[in-house]
Amino acid sequence: NAGVTQTPKFRILKIGQSMTLQCTQDMNHNYMYWYRQDPGMGLKLIYYSVGAGITDKGEVPNGYNVSRSTTEDFPLRLELAAPSQTSVYFCASSYSGPGQGTNSPLHFGNGTRLTVT
Amino acid sequence: KNEVEQSPQNLTAQEGEFITINCSYSVGISALHWLQQHPGGGIVSLFMLSSGKKKHGRLIATINIQEKHSSLHITASHPRDSAVYICAVPGRSGGGADGLTFGKGTHLIIQP
């Protein structure tokens, strides 16, 4: 198993550009998440999905979009990049919801470091 | 929304010392997560627990549901334990599918 694979690892965008962060998992997990991590802050949930075709907003969704056409893939789209979106982005997955029992740990990708200038 | 507080924010200790990291949360939960973020940035899940204690190697996690408090202990600490340790709880009381609320993390440095 490759686990959760995120690409790219690093990216520099100019203000107003768009890009897609790719995330794929090979563990047949239903739940997938996108988080951002800013210095000195806890991870913040951007969007999540509980299965193919189902997505929902998290805590900080503005400026982002997602889709979940397959169980494996959960890309994050940034439209009109802004300096406030400079952050490290993590994709994660789990078999069941994070509060549903104690046998479904989160699996994280290695992160994407994005700079918007 | 659950609030998560971790202490200490930073901890420097000597190799071999017993380490304790604390986590408090505001709303009752069904499970609590401890995560480790390596210096290179990768995040791995250490424990999920809903009661009592779990042990994995030199790491021990405990939780007191009544007091809304959890601790992560490291016995015989080693420089390779240097990392950020993060506590996280479900975003809504009683669990759910909307991800986790994360603490800001405890930055641990173990000196040889």
**Contact between chains at A108 and B43 (C-beta distance less than 8 A):** yes
Tell whether the model's pLDDT for residue B99 goes beyond 90: no
Nearest to A99 among B35, B42, B90 (CB): B90
Indicate if the pLDDT at residue B53 is higher than 70.
yes
Instruction: Confirm or reject contact between B70 and chain A (CB < 8 A).
Output: no
Verify whether the Cβ–Cβ distance B44 to A58 is below 8 Å: no
Subunit contact B104:A104, Cβ cutoff 8 A: no
Coil, helix or strand at residue A114: strand
User: Is the previous residue joined to A8 through a cis bond, with omega within 30 degrees of 0?
Assistant: yes
| B10–A contact, CB cutoff 8 A | no
pLDDT > 50? residue B93: no
Kindly report the nearest CA distance between residue B12 and chain A, in angstroms: 18
pLDDT tens for residues A44-60?
Answer: 989 999 999 999 988 89
Residue B96 touches chain A, beta carbons under 8 Å: yes
Does the distance separating the beta carbons of B4 and A42 come in below 8 Å? yes
CA nearest A50 in B: which residue?
Answer: B97
Q: Closest-CA residue in chain A for B38?
A: A110
Instruction: Kindly determine whether residue B33 and residue A106, on different chains, have CB atoms separated by under 8 Å.
Output: yes
What pLDDT is attached to residue A103? 74
User: pLDDT-based confidence at A100, cuts 50/70/90?
Assistant: low
Q: Rounded mean pLDDT of chain B?
A: 90
Chain B interface test: which of A43, A91, A108 (most B C-beta within 10 Å): A43
Burial (CB count within 10 angstroms: exposed 0-12, middle 13-18, buried 19+), residue A15 = exposed
- B103–A42: do the CB atoms touch at under 8 Å? yes
What is the predicted pLDDT for the residue at B94? 37
The DSSP code sequence of B18-67 is -EEEEEEESS--S-EEEEEE-TTS-EEEEEEESSEEEEETTEEEEEETTT
- Measured between alpha carbons, how far is B8 from B21 in angstroms, rounded to an integer? 7
Nearest to B104 among A40, A98, A105 (CB): A40
| Mean pLDDT value of segment A85-103 | 85
Q: Above 50 in pLDDT, residue A88?
A: yes
